[in-house]
Chain A
Amino acid sequence: MLGLKAFPAAVLGGFGSIPGAVVGGVLIGMIESMAGFYLAEGWKDVAPYIVLLVVLLLKPDGLFGLHMRKKV
Chain B
Amino acid sequence: MRFMFKTDYEDDIRLFPHSGYVVSYGVLLAVLALAPFVLSSYLVSQLVFVCIYATVGVGLMILTGFTGQASLGHAAFLAIGAYTAAYLQQFSVPFPVYFLAAGLLTGIIGALVGFPALRLQGIYLVIATISFAFIVEEILARWESVTHGNEGMRVKTIQLLGTSVPRDSPAFYFLCLGVLILTIVGTLNLLRSPTGRAFVAIRDSETAARSMSVNVSLYKVKSFAISAAITGFAGVLFAHKLSFISPEMFTLQLSIEFIIVILIGGAFSLHGAVLGRFSSS
Contacts and interface: CB of A to CB of B under 8 A. Distances in A.
B134 A45 contact: yes
Given A8-B131, A53-B131, A62-B124, A72 B208 contact: yes
Interface in A7-41: 7-8, 11, 15
B151 to A, nearest CB: 15
Contacts of A70: 206-207
Contact of B135 (A11, A49, A60, A61): A49
B138 interface: yes
Interface string A37-70: 0000010011001101100110011100000001
B70 to A, nearest CB: 13
Interface stretch (B12-20, B80-88, B115-123, B175-183): B115-123
B116 A56 contact: yes
A4 B124 contact: no
Chain B, interface SS category:
helix
Contacts of B79: none
Contact of B138 (A7, A11, A15, A42): A42
A49 B134 contact: yes
A5 to B, nearest CB: 11
A57 B134 CA distance: 17
> Which of under 10, 10 to 19, 20 to 34, or 35 or more describes the interface residues of B?
20 to 34
Contacts of B134: 45-46, 49
Interface of B: 116, 119-121, 123-124, 127-128, 130-132, 134-135, 138, 141-142, 205-208, 252
26 contacts: A4-B130, A4-B252, A7-B130, A8-B127, A11-B124, A11-B127, A15-B123, A15-B124, A42-B138, A42-B141, A45-B138, A46-B135, A49-B131, A49-B134, A49-B135, A50-B131, A52-B128, A53-B116, A53-B128, A53-B131, A53-B132, A53-B135, A56-B116, A56-B127, A70-B206, A72-B205
Given A49-B131, A56-B127, A57-B119, 19 more contacts: A7-B127, A11-B123, A11-B127, A15-B123, A42-B138, A45-B138, A46-B134, A49-B134, A50-B131, A50-B135, A52-B128, A52-B131, A56-B116, A56-B124, A57-B116, A60-B119, A61-B124, A70-B207, A72-B205
